Structure 1
Amino acid sequence: SGYYQDTSPVFSVDGNYLFFLTNRNMEAVYSDLDATWIYPNSAQIAAISLLPDTATLLPVKNDEIELEIEVNEGTGEMPNGDAQTESVVDIDFSDMESRLVLLPPEAGNIGQLFPFQDKLAYLRRPNSGSTEENASLMFYDFEERQEQTVFGDVDRAVQAADGKTMLIASNNRYGIVEVAPDQKLEESIPTDGLVMDLVPREEWQQIFDDTWRRYRDFFYDPNMHGVDWAAMREQYGALLADARTRWDVQNIQFHLLGETSAGHTYVRDGDVERAERRETGFLGIDWAQNDNLYLIGRIVRPASWDTEVRSPFDLTGVGVQQGDYILAVNGVYLDTNKDPYAAFEGLSADTISLLVSSTGELEDAQSVTLQALTQNQENALRNLEWIENNRKMVDELSGGKLGYIYMSNTADRGQLELVRMFYGQLDKEGFIIDERFNGGGQLADRFLELMQRPIVYNLHWRHGRDQTQPIKTNPGPMGMLINGWAASGGDGLPWAFQELEAGPIVGENTMGILVGPATGHTLIDGGGITVPGARLYDNDGHWFWEGEGVSPDIEVWDDPSILAEGVDPQLERVVEEVLKLIDDALPRMTPAP
């Protein structure tokens, strides 16, 4: 009927039923932050009798009914239940959905159905929001009317060709299990003796051919943006003869896909040589130098309320201050002829011992033990400090009237940033949305839906303060910052902002890559490509400006020399523009009559 999302159909062994997954368990989970809700873990297992006169899979049981035993006339023998007969599948499609029954297993994150005689096996993955990490192979026994666990930690599973057992993968081990409770992998299938004859050039040819074919078959435009795709195969395919490494093949792939002049045309390396990484440990500081000694020039600090990552010197009780000298790490003295972090090579996330002195003299040096930051933590710390400095700048420039929200992407990180910075500043009269350097992710409709949520009701309380409904909303004016490093979803967000006339956009054109989204395709050696199978267009029937991006309403160049001095002309201009809109903004709440 189309009322529900139904997937993964499989026929029963006897051909009388169709099993499938159906997302119809609508149990709302409410947000802790507002009154919004979602419907996670909604998948249930359904079965449909293919003919109206087929008995239901779950007939009512009556323990008092005596079984009638059928006896063959003349022989007195029972029928042979093991006789092999060919299944014939007949289907009556009339009013078919009314014959659906939901099987007893609890709804959840269920996937892959495997039919067996009198049983149905399936994977039960951790429910959204749970702390579990591993999937389990389960089965439902139609005779016992019971769900049971076959194996509790499964990465992948497939049904064996005999239709009686299953091949499972668990923690890089493989084994055959029966569809029975509590199976063990006591003897896994040995794979250490598997060998193959690898001819790299033949494999490279297949990688190239598959890349070319996938674009021919799945690129959103069958005319390939006017490119003679057959000629491209001949032109770039001829270069394979000169390839010496898998890196060369990857470069050929990149240039082939570049002929489409489209975004989301990515190549992922496969079977290449990889060196062992020795990652540097970091301290979350800016270094300074005094003669032949290194000292702490500044401790990098995020917002006071932000506990995501901090410099190890920014923790209570450490007792190390800005201006203190760092003489040695793990007994190795820092050499001012080298980068100070040269002595921290290989110490990423390690517990380290620093020799620290307030004067630079060994006599008053003390040993300080702490944990070094990783490169990702150091990057995140500096980004958080930059965000907080921008927030303070907006607050100062606007006289406390405007809030500041930074969104690094339109995926999970951007969701986190938007929600905590929007809800944390609802008392402001308007907002600056900064999406410069936005790395993309999803399309932005949910983001803008949150920021533009209208006030529908007002509530007057006899005891308490009046409120709007929804409570967590702000109808004040908004402005947006963009630049040339915002791409994909970072193009889509300001484009939607512009289409909705949500406010002024200041900065420079975004990158302009909205041929997409793209699907991932794995190649024979573990490498891969993405193929954009769609392209965005607006409600007026215009394609997004690929290669051009979203143009700002007010163009302001982010001059690096000015930014280095702590001045942000783009931020200053967007604050100026949004402040002009405050006086004409809708009221936050209508007074009670």
Structure 2
Amino acid sequence: MKYYSSPDLYRTGSVLYHSLKDGSIRTVSTGVADFTSSSDRSTLILKKEKNTLFVADIRETPESGNFKLTEKDLDLSRIKVRVDPAKEWKIIFSEAWKLAAENYWNEKKAAEIGDEIYRKYEPLTGTISTRFELSEIIREMQGEFGTSHSYEMGGDLCEREEFPVGKLGADLICKHGEYTVQRIYRGDPSNENEKSPLLTGTSVVNEGDVILSIDGVKTGHAVSPGKILHNRYDTPVKLEIKQKDGSVRSAFVSPVRDDRYIRYRSWVEEKRDYVHKKSNGRVGYLHIPDMGLNGFSEFFRLYGVEAEREGLIVDVRYNGGGSVSQILLEKLQRKRLGYDIPRRGNMHPYPADSVNGPIVAITNESAGSDGDIFSHAFKLLNIGPVIGTRTWGGVVGISPRRKLVDGTTVTQPEFALWFGDVGFNIENHGTDPEIVEYMPHDYYNGRDPQLEEALKRTMKLLREKGHVLDFR
């Protein structure tokens, strides 16, 4: 009952008592994540949030009134469990293999290679000495099916405590023993947590400034800022800054634990700014990082604004997959049919958020799963051209609900996607766009040839076909 995508969240509900005598329903307990009953049906064990366990005596079944429930913490201190790792690992492997063979989407293929795979890898379980080696065997076994989304995660592995390095949301370069701020990631300056900490301190740090020390510890060849900021984040530190004119001043900033989102936000805003400037504001841009919560939020964060322009570029490069592609495609398919014109105020298109011009998509080899599906469906629906490189090629879906005895989650490719034009062949191939390569030297030189081509194509379609519908 736990949410798979966020292990700290639970689906909770109420346990109800239903009397077969009078048909009455009474509440036994609320906020329950899971429960089970004893063999004689006299006791319930309830699991609530944070894995707290309670015992409920249900032998008394009152004819009327509220159900009387006595809860108490379940004392597990007397329970002792003896585990033989070598034997348990064999059981775990067998269970993983059975799940793979019994749930693989293609029953015929599973029957043909299932026993052969087991005989090939099962003897190796008697030679291993660590849980990590068992993971390697399970993953190799799953890989024999040659299908995407075959995962083995978690389990009884050693947990390592993390000691993150505080991040400044900037690129630093060491020159002549001094750390110079080469680039500051500005993200979206209007929103909290979406810009570099160097822009939010007591004194703004600029590109080209030198960080001489952090909290009194001098930086240099032997002492990097990262070393000083080890396990220091979300708390102010004092930077000693040398400016371009040689003057020295202090600035207090709060490093963040992870600046990847700041860097992502900057990347998106730079692409938007490039498209807006090069098209004189005529073309919009948005990026969809995945087809899950983040991608859904990112799409609707920008779509309403960017769809007001004459054309739109939809970037699904590096899309991590998910399950919301159908919702986004429905939105992009909206064709402008008319306008809602008030006596006062601005007119609005009907349907709302319909783009009044061409839509072009960009994809690449790192767009996978539902990112594959979105890219291919975009073509099939004739929304517009798809530019970039061939996608990842993994579209057999999973339902990661099964765990092994040590808590390991294993997934089996269960839901194969079939398209009318290519059948099952998106799997292990991907979808083919109009190929435009993004070479290493392009990245080094700050160019994005795929975005450049997408913008050229959008502007060309605007010149050739114009708007979908203008008010007249």
Which bin holds the TM-score, normalised by the shorter protein? Answer: 0.7 to 0.9
Residue 372 of structure 1 is aligned with which of 255, 259, 263?
255
Q: Who is 2:263 aligned against? A: 382
Displacement of 1:157 in angstroms is: 3.0
- Tell me the TM-score normalized by structure 2: 0.87
Residue 257 (structure 1) shift = 0.9
**1:81-134 superposed Cα distances (whole Å, 9 cap, x missing partner):** xxxxxxxxxxxxxxxxxxxxxxxxxxxx985764343799xxxxxxxxxxxxxx
- Relative distance call for 1:517 and 1:119 in structure 2 (3 A) is farther
Q: CA deviation at 1:273?
A: 1.4
Indicate whether 1:174 and 2:53 are aligned. Answer: yes
Task: For residue 100 of structure 2, give the secondary structure of its aligned residue in structure 1.
Answer: helix
Superposed CA offset, 1:423-477 (max 9, x none): 1223211111111111101151111111122334533323343332333322421
Residue number among 352, 359, 377 corresponding to 1:471 in the alignment: 352
Following superposition, the deviation at residue 580 of structure 1 comes to 1.7
Aligned-pair distance for 1:241?
A: 1.7
Q: Residues 156 and 370 from structure 1, CA distance in 2 versus in 1: closer, same or farther, beyond 3 angstroms? A: farther
The residue number in structure 1 matching 2:163 is 278
The one-character-per-residue Cα deviations of 1:147-169 (angstroms, maximum 9, x if unpaired) are: 76x55544333345555653222
**2:102 touches 2:110 (CA, 8 Å); kept in 1?**
no
Deviations for 1:403-432, whole angstroms, at most 9, x for unmatched residues?
Answer: 111011011111111111111223211111
What is the deviation of 1:293? Answer: 2.5
The answer to whether the 8 A contact 1:154-1:169 is kept is yes
- Find 1:115's aligned residue among 10, 14, 17: 17
1:566 aligned to 446, 451, 464, which one?
446
Q: Say if 1:116 and 1:430 are closer, same or farther in 2 by CA, change over 3 A.
A: same
Deviation at 1:297, TM superposition (A): 2.6
SS of the residue 2:253 aligns to: strand
- Alignment partner of 2:239 out of 345, 352, 355: 355
* CA-CA distance at 1:226 after TM superposition: 8.1
Question: Partner residue of 2:383?
Answer: 502
Of residues 368, 373, 391, the one that matches 2:272 is: 391
What pairs with 1:248-397 in structure 2 (closer than 5 Å)?
A: 248-315=133-200, 317-347=202-232, 349-358=233-242, 364-366=248-250, 368-375=251-258, 378-397=259-278
Q: Is the 8 A contact 1:243 1:249 kept in 2?
A: yes
Change (3 A) 1:327 1:191: farther
> For residues 175 and 466 of structure 1, do their structure 2 counterparts lie closer, same or farther at Cα, with a shift above 3 Å needed?
closer
Residues 515 and 532 of structure 1 are in contact (CA less than 8 Å); yes or no, is this contact kept in structure 2?
A: yes
Q: CA RMSD in A?
A: 2.9
What is the CA distance between 1:298 and its match in structure 2? 2.6
Task: Provide the aligned length of Structure 1 versus Structure 2.
Answer: 453
> What SS class does the counterpart of residue 479 from structure 1 fall into?
strand
Give the unaligned 5+ runs of structure 2. 1-10, 59-65
1:157 partnered with 2:35: yes
Look up the equivalent residue of 1:590 and give its one-letter code.
F
**TM-score scaled by structure 1?**
0.70
More moved, 569-578 vs 161-170: 161-170
- For the pair shown, which has the larger CA radius of gyration, 1 or 2? 1
Superposed, which structure 2 residues align to 1:552-563 within 5 Å?
Answer: 552=433, 554-563=434-443
Distance 1:346 1:466, change over 3 A: closer
Show CA shifts across 1:294-321 (max 9, x none).
2323321113445442211212643433
Q: Is the alpha carbon distance of 1:226 and 1:501 closer, same or farther for their aligned partners in structure 2, counting shifts above 3 Å?
A: farther
Tell me: CA distance 1:174–1:518, structure 2 relative to 1, closer, same or farther (3 Å). Answer: closer
Matches within 5 A, 1:194-213: 194-213=79-98
- Among 358, 363, 373, which residue is 1:492 paired with? 373
Equivalent position of 1:59 in the other structure: none
Alignment of 1:136-155 (within 5 A): 142=25, 151=29, 153-155=31-33
SS of residue in 1 equivalent to 2:174: strand
Q: 1:235 to 1:524 in 2, by over 3 A?
A: same
Label 1:197 to 1:119 Cα distance change in 2 as closer, same or farther (>3 A).
Answer: farther
Q: SS where residue 404 of structure 1 aligns? A: strand
Structure 2 CA distance, aligned partners of 1:541 and 1:226? 25
Q: Percent identity?
A: 25
Q: Matches of residues 16-95 of structure 1 in structure 2 within 5 Å? A: none
Relative contact order, higher structure (CA 8 A, sep 6+)? 2
Partner-residue secondary structure (3-state), 1:531: coil
Distance, in Å, in 2 between the alignment partners of 1:318 and 1:439 is 38
Contact persistence 1:483–1:507 (CA under 8 A)? yes
Cα distance in structure 2, aligned partners of 1:262 and 1:467: 47
| Segment drifting more, 197-206 vs 578-587 | 578-587
Instruction: Summarize the Cα distance change of 1:475–1:164 in structure 2 as closer, same or farther, 3 Å threshold.
Output: farther
The aligned amino acid for 1:481 is I
C-alpha spacing 1:141/1:331, structure 2 compared with 1 (3 Å): farther
Q: Which runs of 5+ in 1 are unaligned?
A: 1-108, 121-139
User: SS of the counterpart of 1:228?
Assistant: helix
Asked if structure 1 preserves the Cα contact closer than 8 Å seen for 2:291 and 2:371, the reply is yes
CA separation in 1, counterparts of 2:438 and 2:132?
35
Change (3 A) 1:190 1:331: farther
Alignment pair present for 1:408 and 2:286: no
Question: For residues 158 and 366 of structure 2, what CA distance do their matches in structure 1 show?
Answer: 31
Taking the aligned partners of 1:158 and 1:203, their CA distance within structure 2 comes to 25
The CA distance in 2 between the partners of 1:360 and 1:398, in whole Å, is: 35
| Maintained 8 Å contact 2:309/2:356 | no
Structure 1 residues 392, 365: closer, same or farther in 2, change over 3 A?
Answer: closer
Task: Tell whether 2:323 aligns with 1:442.
Answer: yes
Counterpart CA distance in 1 for 2:12 and 2:85 is: 40
Asked if structure 2 preserves the Cα contact closer than 8 Å seen for 1:324 and 1:356, the reply is no
SS in 1 for 2:415: coil
Pairwise CA distance, 1:249? 0.7
* 8 Å Cα contact 1:281-1:373 kept in structure 2: yes
The amino acid across from 1:354 in the alignment is K
Q: Which residue of 2 aligns with 1:46?
A: none
Determine helix, strand or coil for the equivalent of 1:176: strand
DSSP 3-state at the match of 2:402: strand
SS in structure 1 at match of 2:222: coil
CA deviation profile, 1:493-546 (whole Å, cap 9, x unmatched): 101101111111111100101122444421111112111111001135722322
Distance 1:111 1:336, change over 3 A: same
SS of 2:213's equivalent in the other structure is: strand
- Tell me how far apart the structure 2 counterparts of residues 226 and 164 of structure 1 sit (CA, whole Å): 44
Alpha-carbon distance between aligned partners in 2 of 1:188 and 1:547, rounded to the nearest angstrom? 51
Bigger shift: residues 566-575 or 297-306: 297-306
Q: CA 1:355/1:519 → structure 2, altered by over 3 Å: closer, same or farther? A: closer
Alignment partner, residue 99 of structure 2: 214
Counterpart of 1:45 in structure 2 is none
